[in-house]
Structure 1
Amino acid sequence: MKDLPRPAHHRSPRPGRLPSLLLVLAVMLGLAGGTSTAATDDTAEPSRSAVRVPARAMDAVAAMQPSWNLGNTLDAIPHETNWGNPKATRELFATIRGQGFRSVRIPVTWSDHQSATAPYTVDAAYMSRVKEVVDWALDEGLYVVLNVHHDSWQWIDDMPADHDGVLARFNSTWTQISQTFRDEPRTLIFESVNEPVFEKTTADQKVTFLRELNTSFHKVVRSSGGGNTDRLLMLPTEACTPSQNLMDDLYTTIKSLNDRNLVATVHYYSWYPFSVNVAGGTHYDDKAQNDLNDAFARMRDTFVARGIPVYLGEYGLLGYPDTNHPSRVERGEALKYYEHLGHAARSVGVTTALWDPGTWAYLNRETQKWSDPALFAWIKSSWTTRSGTASFDKVFVPKSEPITAKGLTLHPNGTRFRGLWHGRTKLVEGRDYTLFDKTRLVLTAGALTRLTGDREYGVNATLQARFSRGLPWQIEVVTYDEPVLSDATGRTDAFTIPTQYRGDVLATMEARYGDGSNAGQTDWTPYQEFNKSFSPDYGKDTIILQPEFLDALRDGEPVTLTFHFYSGEKLMYHVKKSGDSVTGSRVTPAS
């Protein structure tokens, strides 16, 4: 199955403003009840006729929480199944609703099914297929968001060079969509365009172009009559980025349209270094947490507190999950992100739509089962409550050394620590572990000796830190020793480093030339991107240096690699490229 990149542009947002107490209270009183009810009632199975859309846009968007994306399907290029997913079925939407979702976003790319010249007619069979899929979702009692998706970079991005042509095609596209769906219920929402960018122009012109598209979209839909006269309409920021200046521009557009049925939409994929594991972003640390807190504070202050609902049309991590490749984001660190995002969204009254690219990620479209049920459990739990976590989800115990006490820091997240369990057995405080200041958890040497058993490399036991509410935090007890790297020769299109992992897990890789400058295709940081520059193959006991990384190295100049492991171990390795040949040698630390 192909690992297709989804074009997106996610910038580092600026810090947000602190709200007043009155604004916080307004958000809580106006939104908390509706969001909670929508997220927890899994028993009812309403048809489209049974869904009563609240009159107020804020309440209607709250009733859409939580939401899910039918990603890489009708937005795939050129056809529905070309990006590795099967065709959508009504049963898929029944599954989604049964899992607690209240709305779905159905991204659609129109360009390969539309004339590229006036009058830009959409193929009737394709329009019929889109309507069939939308109707299935509506019939399952789900709200539906329908949009213009990858057209944003396929032809809308040409607006600076072909303003009139792009605007005419955009208007024609929405005229046809509006006519086809004009009699659908108000549970169908239109979103003007996904992640508009306009690469080849100035910042001021981007503002003008996006404002023109959003305004034209609004005029076309509203003038089409029928159910479109008061249908909820979503308007995006540039690239759907939640930066303050971009949200301010969108707020100006929304206010100028003087329409109570408008919704702001943005996307959020976490602090970029953490989202793809680059530049040392191996943990969900303060930088990543602050980035999320600031983004949601900006959504609240710019829109929600002013009575404009926000639909987070996509969220997730850009490189996680992916069952086709080694996990670039450490599992426990990913769980912290999803737990935190759900809490932040509830706190400010934002409806969230999980970006699901398909079978190799969250929901397997073939089996309609979650690829990682435990991961989904954390996502689902975050819709209604908080869960406690810890500084990490592993305790590393060296095999070559005597066993000593090991500790973690608990993050209760407003809950109360109830204790530590191994299976059905509750560990004894004072004998098996000690808790300092209610957060510092230290496992005793005796407990670790019992838990590691015969001390084979790898996970010897899994503990649960349980809290007063939410899900338990899993802690793996891992026996390891320092990994061993070996010398190697190969070519730029196929070079691997023999690696005895000995229970350890690779976190990241630094690459530097002898003068200290950064080496590799990611030249703005020495810490290269996981799975793009390097990748572990635990089954074959190797580290793969990707061809893109090796091609970017200067010929004949030695490079020092530093491999960081989650145990804290660091190993150095030398590589040198000479034409198509590559040699590698381990660096033995000075005694």
Structure 2
Amino acid sequence: MKGTHHLTERRRSGPGRLLGLLVALVAAIGLTSTTAFAAPPHNDAATALTHKALSPMGTVAAMQPSWNLGNTLDAIPDETSWGNPAATKALFDTIRAQGFRSVRIPVTWTDHQSSTAPYTIDATWMNRVKQVVDWAQADGLYVVINVHHDSWQWVAKMPTDHDNVLARFKASWTQIASKFRDSSKTLLFESNNEPQFDNTTDAQGIQYNDELNTAFHTVVRQSGGNNATRLLVLPSLHTNSSQIFLDALSTEMKSLADPNLVATVHYYGYYPFSVNVAGGTRFDATSQQDMTDNFNRIRATFTSKGIPVYLGEYGLLAYPDSNHPSRIERGEAIKYFEQFGHDARAAGVTTALWDPGTFAFLSRATLQWTDPELFNRIKSSWTTRSGTASSDQVFLAKSGAITAKTLTLNPNGLTFRGLWQGNTQLAQGRDYTVSGNQLTLTATALTRLAGNRAYGTNATIEARFSRGLPWQIHVITYDSPVLSPATGTTSGLTIPTQFRGDQLATMEGKYADGTNAGPVNWSSYQEFNVSFSPDYPGNGLVLTPAFLNSLRDNTQATLVFHFWSGATMTYQVTKSGSTVTGTVG
């Protein structure tokens, strides 16, 4: 994953590049004895390795679940440059106490290494990395370290600077391997993060990636000590799980004839859903199938054949992000993480949550989860399924009569047990009915739950199932939002907006000739928080400089704002030089 202020490396070009980076995994439909996790009980990683004599598959299974110390030792140019405080022993104490069994510690070496031969890594930096690794191991955690953002800083130049890049890569791993040769084998080395090479075809990229992985393997194995048999983690090109990249990695691993190898990929979901672009507002059948297909490929290529897979990063791109309005609706994100946990377990894949700190999962300053409920749902997915529904929102128009509303239950193999509001169980028949998987809330119940019908969430109820976490349903009163004319510049335009209890789902833009308006030229639906963003406290819809500067001059663009209630609002925008005017459609 990428830096705190940007998370951008994955998104800086069109869908081809982006889909290449949307690395994937394998989702099996059922658990089998050969692929499902059966991690041995253990107090810590060292005990597991010492007393259980684990196989590579067993070791990687014992690493589940895993967590990334993101945007810290991989930050550029230094550990605290991207907003996180320096790592502490207490941080790993917390991670261990929260149930994690391993940590991935990404490391960027570039700014702590000479850029010319002999490519010496600064001793102070090397010692700092060693200190952090030792803290994690002291807590009984398995640890993975790597060469991280170096991948795009200088490794990517291999096609035009082959010999120097290869020499620097070998020199880097020679020094790292020497420093850690006597560390416990609960430490794993990962060759290179998201391998990428400038201006290359897939075939060329695969060749360069194979060359680096092989050089990494040779250097580490020749360094002796525990490195002679240490588990080594090899990435596919881009850490992508498309079949072509999995096959190439499988072929290379076979050629190395080393049983102590681990394959790695990343997974951030179906791209339109992961960033909310091209209308990908829901974790729908397409997104679900993308996840299933990816996990199936990994299981078929690796885990079903006894080759361990460490999924080094997963999550949703730029979610959560407390610095901006959420681009992904909460219930849809919860459904993503719920299925992800199940599919990973079914495929026998160990997964490492990408956590950039600062604005995401674990606050490095307070050592508290920024969203405990979301983390609890991720944690629950490691061991069991939970039921969901087609939505976690029921919208009631304030200007109209309240009528019954129907949701589709997704039991995920569980049994629906009923609805509750706090400790009070709702009455089936009076408050709701169930027909198959169709859950209907009656007008009587919704009238009571809506109360005085103030805009926004009036009540929250939950659907409970035979196990797992309950599914929350928010009863929301709204009226269609009201937009007003506005004038601004290409530096930004804020449309005065009365949201009236509703929330923005997405925005599409088109010109009169039917072509798409906005920087995303392959879809009329623009990217949330990149082209547009709601400002709920400020009662505005913000059109960004990126969007406005992409517009044709003196040509009206018609925007359609889609809201979660189902309401749509049309708005016209015209750019003339640096001036932008907006009118209500």
How high is the TM-score relative to the length of structure 1? 0.95
Q: Is 1:443 the equivalent of 2:441? A: yes
Q: For residue 500 of structure 2, give the secondary structure of its aligned residue in structure 1.
A: coil
Amino acid at match of 1:335: I
Over residues 390-414 of structure 1, what are the superposed CA-to-partner deviations in whole Å (9 max), with x where a residue is unaligned? 0000000010001110111110001
Over residues 378-436 of structure 1, what are the superposed CA-to-partner deviations in whole Å (9 max), with x where a residue is unaligned? 10000000000000000000100011101111100011000000111100000000101
Aligned pairs for 1:113-128 (under 5 A) are 113-128=112-127
Check whether the contact 1:10–1:269 (CA below 8 A) recurs between aligned residues. Answer: no
Check whether the contact 1:70–1:356 (CA below 8 A) recurs between aligned residues. Answer: yes
Check whether the contact 2:26–2:294 (CA below 8 A) recurs between aligned residues. Answer: no
- Matched with 1:77 is 76
- Matched with 1:582 is 580
Q: Is 1:413 the equivalent of 2:415? A: no
- Matched with 1:307 is 306
Q: Is 1:162 the equivalent of 2:164? A: no
Over residues 522-549 of structure 1, what are the superposed CA-to-partner deviations in whole Å (9 max), with x where a residue is unaligned? 1110000000000001111100000110
**CA 1:555 to 1:339, structure 2 compared with 1: closer, same or farther past 3 Å?**
same
Displacement of 1:48: 4.5
Mean Cα deviation higher: 51-60 or 406-415: 51-60
Check whether the contact 2:492–2:548 (CA below 8 A) recurs between aligned residues. Answer: no
Q: Is 1:474 the equivalent of 2:472? A: yes
- Matched with 1:176 is 175
Amino acid at match of 2:93: A
Q: For residue 574 of structure 1, give the secondary structure of its aligned residue in structure 2.
A: strand
Displacement of 1:447: 0.4
- Matched with 2:379 is 380
Displacement of 1:3: 2.3
Displacement of 1:73: 0.3
Equivalent residue in structure 2 for 1:524, among 522, 531, 536 = 522
Over residues 150-201 of structure 1, what are the superposed CA-to-partner deviations in whole Å (9 max), with x where a residue is unaligned? 0000000010011110000000000000000000111000000000110222
- Provide the rounded CA distance (Å) in 2 between the counterparts of 1:15 and 1:238: 12
Check whether the contact 2:262–2:308 (CA below 8 A) recurs between aligned residues. Answer: yes
Check whether the contact 1:395–1:478 (CA below 8 A) recurs between aligned residues. Answer: yes
- Matched with 1:564 is 562
Equivalent residue in structure 1 for 2:533, among 532, 535, 555 = 535
Q: For residue 363 of structure 1, give the secondary structure of its aligned residue in structure 2.
A: coil
Displacement of 1:490: 1.1
- Provide the rounded CA distance (Å) in 2 between the counterparts of 1:122 and 1:423: 57
Displacement of 1:16: 9.9
**CA 1:70 to 1:16, structure 2 compared with 1: closer, same or farther past 3 Å?**
closer
**CA 1:559 to 1:287, structure 2 compared with 1: closer, same or farther past 3 Å?**
same
Displacement of 1:95: 0.2
Over residues 39-82 of structure 1, what are the superposed CA-to-partner deviations in whole Å (9 max), with x where a residue is unaligned? xx8xx5x4846753643100100000000000000000000000
Displacement of 1:32: 3.0
Displacement of 1:30: 3.4
- Provide the rounded CA distance (Å) in 2 between the counterparts of 1:494 and 1:444: 44
- Matched with 1:32 is 36
Aligned pairs for 1:353-502 (under 5 A) are 353-437=352-436, 439-502=437-500
Displacement of 1:326: 0.2
- Provide the rounded CA distance (Å) in 1 between the counterparts of 2:179 and 2:521: 49
Q: Is 1:202 the equivalent of 2:201? A: yes
Aligned pairs for 1:19-58 (under 5 A) are 28-35=32-39, 44=43, 46=44, 48=46, 52=50, 54-58=53-57
Amino acid at match of 1:138: Q
Q: For residue 36 of structure 2, give the secondary structure of its aligned residue in structure 1.
A: helix
- Provide the rounded CA distance (Å) in 2 between the counterparts of 1:15 and 1:61: 18
- Provide the rounded CA distance (Å) in 1 between the counterparts of 2:36 and 2:579: 61
- Matched with 1:350 is 349
- Provide the rounded CA distance (Å) in 1 between the counterparts of 2:233 and 2:401: 61
Displacement of 1:28: 2.6
- Matched with 1:147 is 146
- Matched with 1:60 is 59
Amino acid at match of 1:66: P
Check whether the contact 1:405–1:444 (CA below 8 A) recurs between aligned residues. Answer: yes
Amino acid at match of 2:277: V
Q: Is 1:109 the equivalent of 2:108? A: yes
Amino acid at match of 2:5: D
Q: Is 1:328 the equivalent of 2:292? A: no
Check whether the contact 1:10–1:241 (CA below 8 A) recurs between aligned residues. Answer: no
Amino acid at match of 1:97: R
Q: For residue 369 of structure 1, give the secondary structure of its aligned residue in structure 2.
A: coil
Displacement of 1:580: 1.0
Displacement of 1:319: 2.0
Displacement of 1:358: 0.7
Q: For residue 564 of structure 1, give the secondary structure of its aligned residue in structure 2.
A: strand
Amino acid at match of 1:204: A
Check whether the contact 2:311–2:351 (CA below 8 A) recurs between aligned residues. Answer: yes
Identity of counterpart residues, as a percentage? 61
Check whether the contact 1:4–1:83 (CA below 8 A) recurs between aligned residues. Answer: no
Q: For residue 494 of structure 2, give the secondary structure of its aligned residue in structure 1.
A: strand
Aligned pairs for 1:254-293 (under 5 A) are 254-293=253-292
Check whether the contact 2:327–2:528 (CA below 8 A) recurs between aligned residues. Answer: yes
How high is the TM-score relative to the length of structure 2? 0.96
Displacement of 1:307: 1.4
Structure 1 gap ranges (5+): none
**CA 1:47 to 1:468, structure 2 compared with 1: closer, same or farther past 3 Å?**
closer
- Provide the rounded CA distance (Å) in 2 between the counterparts of 1:51 and 1:211: 29
Amino acid at match of 2:291: L
Check whether the contact 1:47–1:139 (CA below 8 A) recurs between aligned residues. Answer: no
Mean Cα deviation higher: 490-499 or 105-114: 490-499
- Provide the rounded CA distance (Å) in 2 between the counterparts of 1:101 and 1:16: 20
Over residues 193-249 of structure 1, what are the superposed CA-to-partner deviations in whole Å (9 max), with x where a residue is unaligned? 000110222322211111110011000000000000110000000010111000000
- Provide the rounded CA distance (Å) in 2 between the counterparts of 1:357 and 1:18: 25
Amino acid at match of 2:7: P
Amino acid at match of 2:166: L
- Matched with 1:251 is 250
**CA 1:565 to 1:181, structure 2 compared with 1: closer, same or farther past 3 Å?**
same
- Provide the rounded CA distance (Å) in 1 between the counterparts of 2:511 and 2:279: 18
**CA 1:282 to 1:115, structure 2 compared with 1: closer, same or farther past 3 Å?**
same
Q: For residue 19 of structure 2, give the secondary structure of its aligned residue in structure 1.
A: coil
Check whether the contact 1:48–1:139 (CA below 8 A) recurs between aligned residues. Answer: no
Q: For residue 357 of structure 2, give the secondary structure of its aligned residue in structure 1.
A: coil
Displacement of 1:15: 11
Over residues 115-170 of structure 1, what are the superposed CA-to-partner deviations in whole Å (9 max), with x where a residue is unaligned? 00111000000000000000000000000001000000000001001111000000
Displacement of 1:2: 5.9
Check whether the contact 1:264–1:310 (CA below 8 A) recurs between aligned residues. Answer: yes
Check whether the contact 1:388–1:471 (CA below 8 A) recurs between aligned residues. Answer: yes
Equivalent residue in structure 2 for 1:573, among 558, 568, 571 = 571
Amino acid at match of 1:505: Q
Amino acid at match of 1:214: N
**CA 1:386 to 1:507, structure 2 compared with 1: closer, same or farther past 3 Å?**
same
- Provide the rounded CA distance (Å) in 1 between the counterparts of 2:164 and 2:347: 40
Amino acid at match of 1:466: R
Mean Cα deviation higher: 8-17 or 291-300: 8-17
**CA 1:511 to 1:233, structure 2 compared with 1: closer, same or farther past 3 Å?**
same
Structure 2 gap ranges (5+): 11-16
